[in-house]
Structure 1
Amino acid sequence: MHIMKQTASLLLVALFFFASCKEQEPEVHYLVDEAVEVRIDSTLQSFVDFGDVAGASALIYEKGKEVYFNAFGYADLKNKKPMERNTLVQIYSMTKPITGTALMTLYEEGKFKLDDPLEKYAPEFANMQVYKGYDSIAGKMILEPAKRPITIADITRHTAGFSGRRDLPGLGEAIAEADALNRENTLSEMAKKLSTIPLGYQPGEHWEYGISVDVQAYLVELLSGQPYAEYVQEHVLDPLKMNNTRYVVPESDRNRMSSAYSHEGDSLNQLPNEEAHAFNYKKWPLTPGGWGLTSTLDDYMRFARMLVNDGKLDGVEVLEPQTVELMSTNHLDENITDRSWLPSKGQVGFGIDFAVRLQPPASVEENNGVVGEFFWDGAASTLFWVDPVNELTAVFFVQIFPYNGSLHKRFRDAVYGPITLQNTPE
């Protein structure tokens, strides 16, 4: 009896100890609570109600937990097919961070250094000429030699000098004639044609968004000895189980693809699928690094969660933590003041295929966000971001042309709340 009483006493002490420990565990607070969910719902519904989009969906994870999902409106407006969780969309430039990730797996293997000249691996980019103007009397471009070689860092941060300026006399015609991104070109053919076009500016002097990430895909082929599509599948998509992220959508899955839309005045125009999805309904020679993939909310969220988890997801390491840190660090020198439309994204710099937030919003009109976040978007107005401070990842899907940044502003405000400006000294 004495032993039984002693055992019972020990059990009571143990239960009290564990209860005390449980009470002392810090409560986990989430940015996205019930009130925020209601605010996001209202915002996404307003996009549909006001005719900004036919359909909208969003998925948010915070601290490893799904904290928000919803979908509104239609993927196929004419046939009243709703926007759903497994709807496939064209992610356009949200392909770029995936390509950057594939390239950086080779960086981890010691295959290249960021300050290596591109011509070390792709000799067609040696001795590049730079556009200085147009001699209308002679009927030809005025050119000068590049002051330094294009580096791999240049093609990861859009400072290589490649230009898409079709409005520049002579250069615009050269870009059109080369037609580097024609779907019938392989990546090797794309690179050879691109190398014949003069650069629009000296390497490292301006930020101009464009074809650089397609050159990254070509570099992956050169360094790995594998076709780019095979390499990215094997080293990024398969390890992350991103089974719905593809260039070519099989016929059996095409009923899940969202239609694409454009605005005609105040009304939405639903583009014919055969036209809007032509790239994804057939296997083309070109497998671009800068665009072309289709994906679902959950697939792209797996990619985003890998990044917020310092390169790992579900026990699989895609990148080392220091590589993710390198990619999400600003690489734009402050002396590069000509940055095209990048400042429209907010107080940001640029890392390796991501914009990187450096300062909080300076006005209530700016995009909302947290210092340290990194993100990118797509031509059809899709968006994702990684917020390491709150351990939050968000993916936002619509399919609307032209690109509508105001949707991102309103969605971000719904997630974070109205912008509160920091007090500044007079």
Structure 2
Amino acid sequence: MSESVVAGLSKNRLERITRHLDEKYIQPGKLPGALTLVARHGQVVWCQAQGLRDVERQQPMERDTVFRVYSMTKPVTAIAMMQLYEQGKFLLNDPVHKYIPSWKDLRVFKSGHYPDFKTEPATTTMTIRDLFTHTSGLTYGFTERTPVDAAYRKLKLDGSPILTLDKLVDRLAELPLEFSPGTAWNYSVSTDVLGYLVQQLSGQPLDEYFEEHIFKPLGMSETGFHVRPDQQERFAACYLYQPGDTKKLQDDPTRSQFLKPPRFLSGGGGLVSTIDDYFRFAQALCQGGEYQGERIIGRKTLEFMRRNHLPGGQDLPAMSTGGFSEIPYAGSGFGLGFSVKTNVPDSHTIGSEGEYGWGGLAGTHFMVDPSEDLVMIFMTQLIPSRAYPVRQELRALTYGALV
């Protein structure tokens, strides 16, 4: 069979992705379905839908399927915030309490349980850069590791029907930090706080800001904080991993909370999107902040964002306190809104230094490699994202197709 090469990618080798996902995950019932896109030099070379978007109703996965992208919302929020940075609205070393006065005297957890915490003063001041890099000392309730994240769960700070961004910020002012800002890395609600700051600095609700300054310029007509009526029949079901490599329905697409506009506009995890919509965003990142003549961020700003911003150039293994991340820690640092590969051999997967991206709770993932001018996006709907090592395997399959 002669090799078909487009934009320096072997389509025959990319077809291995289809076989791998089908034989290892979809036929055995581990994943409901999958949708994978690979692009190089701005051209979508390969896009393949497999399996089902809704197992119960036997609806096939299709290219226009709508997905919960969860934490793939975070890079969008980071770009929004850095657009405001480019307008001189804030500096990265500004203390957060300059914009949220109630956060002026934050304290650090020492012992005890909510509401009877023993605390001590933080030894450092939280800056806006700490929010971008998850070195703020905040946490997530779902990590289930400390008495502090137990308080987040009790107060439903990871998201509830009654939560708003204002309420989140008020509640966080009353809770201790896990550690003094800048001294460790812990995945957290930091990006939701950035979403709050986007609203404060722009004077617009977060959904309106995203629409006007990112989605409309890039032509992302399928992306938003809820599933519109015209999208509902294309909305995927979401599943929960069960021990023994099985799954159960976690969110029925006909009754999902995503069907109505939320009160809580989560910049950390609230968006739904399609693979082609998210490609427009990822390709803009790959092209230095511009897509089809529309620039969403300056070239030097984006270069700055995708450097490792962890203190002293440390990597995630050196700084992480928690057990959760949307990527393996090894060989990675963290930029302003996404992970950044800093050491390819240490990462145990092929790739390039400077490659960056992030993933979502239900298994979605995207990767941008500027040096290879390469974008890869993977969509599925299985919680948690770490159930299977699909993301690392997809790197081997994608990079293996470069000729």
Instruction: Give the alignment's TM-score, normalised by structure 2.
Output: 0.90
2:314–2:333 contact (8 Å) kept in structure 1: no
CA distance in structure 2 between the aligned counterparts of 1:210 and 1:86, rounded to whole angstroms: 31
Aligned pair partner of 1:148 in 106, 113, 124: 124
SS at match of 1:306: helix
Once the two structures are TM-superposed, the CA of residue 31 in structure 1 deviates from its matched residue by 4.2
1:44–1:57 contact (8 Å) kept in structure 2: no
Q: How does 1:19-418 map to 2 (within 5 A)?
A: 30-46=7-23, 47-134=25-112, 140-164=116-140, 166-169=144-147, 171-180=148-157, 181-264=159-242, 265-273=244-252, 277-278=256-257, 280-333=258-311, 334=313, 337-339=318-320, 340-341=322-323, 342=325, 344-362=328-346, 366-403=348-385, 404-417=387-400
SS at match of 2:376: strand
Q: Deviations over 1:95-115 (max 9, x none)?
A: 000010111110000001101
CA distance in structure 2 between the aligned counterparts of 1:54 and 1:175, rounded to whole angstroms: 31
Q: Which amino acid counterpart does residue 283 of structure 2 have in structure 1?
A: R
* Structure 2 portions without partners, runs of 5+: none
1:312–1:319 contact (8 Å) kept in structure 2: yes
Q: Hey, what does 1:24 align to over in structure 2?
A: none
Once the two structures are TM-superposed, the CA of residue 384 in structure 1 deviates from its matched residue by 0.2
Once the two structures are TM-superposed, the CA of residue 146 in structure 1 deviates from its matched residue by 1.2
Once the two structures are TM-superposed, the CA of residue 60 in structure 1 deviates from its matched residue by 1.4
Distance 1:159 1:81, change over 3 A: same
Distance 1:174 1:50, change over 3 A: closer
CA distance in structure 2 between the aligned counterparts of 1:123 and 1:268, rounded to whole angstroms: 45
Would you say how many aligned residue pairs link Structure 1 and Structure 2? Answer: 386
Q: Which amino acid counterpart does residue 158 of structure 1 have in structure 2?
A: H
Once the two structures are TM-superposed, the CA of residue 375 in structure 1 deviates from its matched residue by 0.8
CA distance in structure 2 between the aligned counterparts of 1:408 and 1:166, rounded to whole angstroms: 24
2:77–2:194 contact (8 Å) kept in structure 1: yes
Q: Deviations over 1:93-149 (max 9, x none)?
A: 00000010111110000001101101111112110011122399xx94221111122
* Larger displacement relative to structure 2 (268-277 or 149-158): 268-277
CA distance in structure 2 between the aligned counterparts of 1:40 and 1:31, rounded to whole angstroms: 17
Q: Deviations over 1:202-224 (max 9, x none)?
A: 11111000100000000001111
Once the two structures are TM-superposed, the CA of residue 229 in structure 1 deviates from its matched residue by 1.2
1:248–1:282 contact (8 Å) kept in structure 2: yes
Q: Which amino acid counterpart does residue 364 of structure 2 have in structure 1?
A: T
Is the radius of gyration larger for structure 1 or structure 2?
1
CA distance in structure 1 between the aligned counterparts of 2:281 and 2:101, rounded to whole angstroms: 33
CA distance in structure 2 between the aligned counterparts of 1:195 and 1:114, rounded to whole angstroms: 20
SS at match of 1:104: helix
SS at match of 2:345: coil
Once the two structures are TM-superposed, the CA of residue 405 in structure 1 deviates from its matched residue by 4.7
1:43–1:410 contact (8 Å) kept in structure 2: no
SS at match of 2:109: strand
Once the two structures are TM-superposed, the CA of residue 185 in structure 1 deviates from its matched residue by 2.3
Distance 1:358 1:174, change over 3 A: same
Q: Which amino acid counterpart does residue 109 of structure 2 have in structure 1?
A: Y
SS at match of 1:362: helix
* Structure 1 portions without partners, runs of 5+: 1-27, 419-426
CA distance in structure 1 between the aligned counterparts of 2:314 and 2:364, rounded to whole angstroms: 30
Once the two structures are TM-superposed, the CA of residue 166 in structure 1 deviates from its matched residue by 4.5
CA distance in structure 2 between the aligned counterparts of 1:344 and 1:276, rounded to whole angstroms: 33
Distance 1:248 1:34, change over 3 A: closer
2:359–2:366 contact (8 Å) kept in structure 1: yes
SS at match of 1:247: coil
1:56–1:73 contact (8 Å) kept in structure 2: yes
CA distance in structure 1 between the aligned counterparts of 2:145 and 2:14, rounded to whole angstroms: 45
Q: Which amino acid counterpart does residue 75 of structure 2 have in structure 1?
A: P
CA distance in structure 1 between the aligned counterparts of 2:37 and 2:215, rounded to whole angstroms: 19
Once the two structures are TM-superposed, the CA of residue 29 in structure 1 deviates from its matched residue by 7.4
CA distance in structure 1 between the aligned counterparts of 2:38 and 2:310, rounded to whole angstroms: 29
Once the two structures are TM-superposed, the CA of residue 48 in structure 1 deviates from its matched residue by 0.9
Q: Which amino acid counterpart does residue 239 of structure 1 have in structure 2?
A: P
CA distance in structure 2 between the aligned counterparts of 1:335 and 1:389, rounded to whole angstroms: 22
CA distance in structure 1 between the aligned counterparts of 2:74 and 2:149, rounded to whole angstroms: 24
Q: Hey, what does 1:12 align to over in structure 2?
A: none
SS at match of 1:102: helix
